Structure 1
């Protein structure tokens, strides 16, 4: 059974109150970096894996994408996405990312935001994305940074006064399951080294175009004082890759 915490009413209610859920893309601390990796979407067919509330789907249409398909495992997520969407050229599909089946070369661009660290095999996702991308198509995704996912306790190390001293890293080279807390619930994530993300893409014949690590925007640093801690370690890893023209 694929993991689906978001259809739990208590968990979903907490998720709805997160800044990125309320404010959309502008509430996501990494958006100012991630959007620079997304290619021009005008007249493109776009797939969003783990679309959540559909923010990236609607952004793609704002950029004049031809069609957009958003995929998510959660019915509650998709219900919210449909409520926020009034566009017949955006469609939403309820299915686990691991089970997607699309036509060969169906899409020009595949996007995914913060979903793949919940999936056991990243290599299998690379293969599925490669198959459904056109030649020259772009694959852009973000995941929780391996520095962030290395330990079950995804938190700072604090002194006796509660000050955050440093971000500990342990068992970095031991990939696999991490049982960790998110929104006061236990969730299963999968830790991978940075090299695994890169090499799985290369082994699938993708060409790496860019690798970025999250840092808060100047606006967020000014408006949210606690964001300064986000300059001490990257929380997210973002990669752009291209399917070579054949």
Structure 2
């Protein structure tokens, strides 16, 4: 089943108030590291999978991309992305990542931010991405870190006074669906080990060029609530790769 929690109006309202939803990339704790992995966009054809509000699409267009296509399963997300877009060479299509079937050599760069933990089908998606990328094309993505997804609830363990005690990690090697709580709502996410993420890339035609477990940028530590606790365990995994 394809996850589309973002067209639930109550959930989407909560998400729309999230700091990165309001302020964009500047409020994303991993952005200072993710942008280092991005290639030169000049004259490139770019695909953004799970584009959300379109922040990365706009960034690619601002940095010279020839064309940018953002895809997302959520019509709510795409409606906001279209409102924010002022570039004629940026388009948005409603499309589940599992249904991608672009022609070979359609894109020079494929990016995706925090989308692949919503699918049980990462291997198939990598195959589809490899097919539509040009030779030596770039694939850069972020996902929730396997340490973050392993236990499932995605919440801290608290002491009797309500203080954050530690981040629970259990059933790490048992991959599959997890019932997580995000913004007060039940959301199905999919846990995979670090080995699975990296080996899947190697098996589907990619050479890995970068791996980052990002710490939040220093300027967000005291301005975004709870950000200092992000130094206690990795929340995200960033990977860059090239089609070979």
Query: Shorter chain as normaliser: what TM range?
Result: over 0.9
Deviation at residue 147 of structure 1 after TM alignment: 0.3
| 1:243 equivalent in structure 2 | 243
* Alpha-carbon displacement from aligned partner over 1:30-55 (angstroms, at most 9, x marks no partner): 10011111101011000000001110
Distance 1:48 1:40 in 2: 15
Distance 1:28 1:83 in 2: 20
| 1:73 equivalent in structure 2 | 73
| 2:94 equivalent in structure 1 | 94
| 2:28 equivalent in structure 1 | 28
Moved over 3 A (4+): 222-226
Distance 1:97 1:69 in 2: 13
Distance 2:80 2:26 in 1: 18
Kindly indicate whether residue 143 of structure 2 is the aligned counterpart of residue 143 of structure 1.
Answer: yes
Distance 2:77 2:153 in 1: 27
* Alpha-carbon displacement from aligned partner over 1:179-232 (angstroms, at most 9, x marks no partner): 111111111100000000000000012000011012011111243473221111
| 2:175 equivalent in structure 1 | 175
Distance 2:76 2:171 in 1: 35
**Secondary structure of the residue that 1:223 maps to in structure 2?**
coil
Unaligned runs of 5+ in 2: none
Distance 1:72 1:225 in 2: 28
The TM-score normalised by the length of structure 2 is 0.98
RMSD: 1.0
Unaligned runs of 5+ in 1: none
Distance 2:238 2:154 in 1: 19
| 1:127 equivalent in structure 2 | 127
Distance 1:196 1:150 in 2: 13
Distance 2:113 2:90 in 1: 17
Distance 1:107 1:217 in 2: 31
Distance 1:64 1:57 in 2: 11
**Secondary structure of the residue that 1:56 maps to in structure 2?**
helix
Q: Evaluate the alpha carbon distance shift between residue 74 and residue 196 of structure 1 in structure 2; reply closer, same or farther with a 3 A threshold.
A: same
**Secondary structure of the residue that 1:207 maps to in structure 2?**
strand
| 1:188 equivalent in structure 2 | 188
Distance 1:198 1:110 in 2: 17
**Secondary structure of the residue that 1:219 maps to in structure 2?**
helix
| 2:62 equivalent in structure 1 | 62
The TM-score normalised by the length of structure 1 is 0.97
| 2:103 equivalent in structure 1 | 103
| 2:207 equivalent in structure 1 | 207
| 2:14 equivalent in structure 1 | 14
Aligned residues: 244
